[in-house]
Structure 1
Amino acid sequence: MTSHLARYRSGQHDAVWRDLRALELDVFNARYREDAQAVAREMASRARWNVETLVERLHADGFVAAWNDDDMTPRPAYLPPTDGSSALADWMEEAFAPFPMTVAAWIRQVGDVWLVGEHPRWAESILADPLVVEFEHILDGGNARAYYEGAWNSWCANPRRQRDWPFQIDFAPDDLTKANISGGGPYGIALAGSGVDGLLGSSKWFVDDLNEAFAAGGFPGVLRSEGYVEPPVGLREGLARDLLRL
Structure 2
Amino acid sequence: MELWLTARLPEAQKRRIDDWLSQHPQQAAYWQALQQDQRLLAQLDPVHDERNLDDYALASRHTQPARPWRRWPALPTLAAFALGSLCSALLIPLWTTVPTEPANRPAFVQSALQAHALYSVEVRHPVEVGEQEQAHLLKWLSKRLDRPLAAPDLSGLGFQLLGGRLLPAPDGPAAQLMYQDTGGERITLYIAAAADSQPSSFLFSEHRGVSTFYWVDGHWGYSLSGRIDQARLSQLSSQVYQALVL
Q: TM-score, normalised by structure 2?
A: 0.26
Higher gyration radius (CA): 2
Q: TM-score, normalised by structure 1?
A: 0.26
Higher relative contact order (CA 8 A, sep 6+): 1
Q: Which has the higher strand share?
A: 2
